[in-house]
Structure 1
Amino acid sequence: MTSLQGRRGGRLLEAVLGVALALAGLFGVLLPLLGVTGPIDPVDTRDVRIDAVTRVPAAVTSGPVTLHGTHRAEVALTHPDVQQRILLALPDVFYGALLIVVLAFLLRMARTLREADVFVPENARRLQVIAAAIVAMGVLGPAVDAITTHLLISGTAVSPAVPFAYTVSAAPLFLGLLIAALAEVFRQGTRLREDTEGLV
């Protein structure tokens, strides 16, 4: 009975990951690429950080608390050409592709649950790939965003107001390290099981 429940749970997990994988491919990669090639309206804006403080429509005051503004702004391109469309879509495609990698390897790991045998060498390697992809989201993702933004505004009148901003997010780095540690646990578990089987 427990084995049957485990298989059902494994199939349900596979189905959820399969749906998530399809959605990531659709919204993270396919739609941005269709925006570049023309069948759908392209993305024509990019959120940026500026040097000057932006003004809010009206000052908001509540007793001793006052809302002033933020350093966030939006760059809008009226009629982006193909090169600009590529630069606008590239960060979304990059993140979408990495998310697809993560979900695809998680799906492969979920399939090992059918046999109730997750401690296999392949899963340790899959976790290492997942960890690398998540770290890349935190390190390379912001770099892609910063570089493409710089290329979009380079030579325009708004360029002096938008500094080159590259900020590494700590959360993906910590998550990637945790998953890398889990991959090592899987690797050690696999080795211990092989050693135990060798003694029998």
Structure 2
Amino acid sequence: MRHWWTRAADYVLELILGAALLLVGLFHIVFPVLGVAGPWASADSREVRVDAAARLPGGMTSTAMTLRGSDRAELVLADPGLGQRLLLVLPVAVGGLLLVVVLAVLLRMARTFRDGDFFVPENTRRLTVVAVALMLLGVLVPLLYMMTTNLLVRGEPMAAAIAPAQDYAVLPVFLAILAAAAAAAFRNGTRLRADTEGLV
């Protein structure tokens, strides 16, 4: 009974990871890319942070874009061109791609759990890939948001009112540290198992 339940749990885990991989791929990569160059509705706005010293009472408008709100405001582009749509979608697509990498690697790891063999050399390398991808998700994606926002508002009157984003994603960085620690544990487990097999 326990063996049957363990195998069923492994298949459920693979199903959940596969569904998450599909959803992230669709909503963070495929649909945003279709919005840039395809028939899908294109992105035309982004949430930004307004400098506390330049709070806006209602909104600030130019011919190309509008900044509405204060503190957390919405930057709306009137008729974004291809380059502007690319800048709007780039951080979302890069973050989605990194999530796809993490989920795909975790799915491959989950498939090795069916045999009850966790400490295989491939899983050590996979956890290292997960750690690197999560670190990039926590550091690179916020930097992309900041850089692309600066490029979008360059030369516009509201450029001085938008504060640079300084909030890095703490959770992915923390998870990256945990994944790196797990990779070290898997590496030690693999080494111990190889030493034990050599003694038999």
**In the alignment, residue 91 of structure 1 is paired with which amino acid?**
P
Q: With structure 2 as the length reference, what TM-score do the two structures score?
A: 0.89
Scaled by the length of structure 1, the TM-score of the pair is 0.89
- Partners of 2:95 and 2:151 lie apart in 1 by 19
Question: Alpha-carbon deviation of 1:193?
Answer: 0.5
Q: Which amino acid aligns with 1:24?
A: V
> What is residue 154 of structure 2 aligned with on the other side?
154
Secondary structure, counterpart of 2:103 in structure 1: helix
Is contact 2:55-2:161 (8 Å) kept?
no
SS of residue in 1 equivalent to 2:163: coil
Residue in 2 that maps onto 1:53:
55
1:18 and 2:18 aligned: yes
- The one-letter code of the counterpart of 2:74 is E
Q: Does 1:27 align with 2:41?
A: no
* Superposition map of 1:20-169 within 5 A: 20-51=20-51, 52-55=54-57, 71-169=71-169
**Which amino acid is the alignment partner of residue 121 of structure 2?**
P
SS in 2 for 1:39: coil
Residue aligning to 1:173 = 173
Q: Give ranges in structure 2 of 5+ residues lacking alignment.
A: 59-68
Using the TM superposition, name which of 108-117 and 46-55 deviates more.
46-55
Moved more, 10-19 or 22-31: 10-19
CA RMSD of aligned residues (A): 1.5
1:125-168, Cα deviation, whole Å (9 max, x unpaired): 11111111111111101000000101111111211211333332
In structure 2, C-alpha distance between the alignment counterparts of 1:10 and 1:45, rounded to whole Å: 41
**Quick check: 1:54–1:72 contact (8 Å CA) kept in 2?**
no
Q: Percent identity?
A: 50
Q: How many residues align?
A: 188
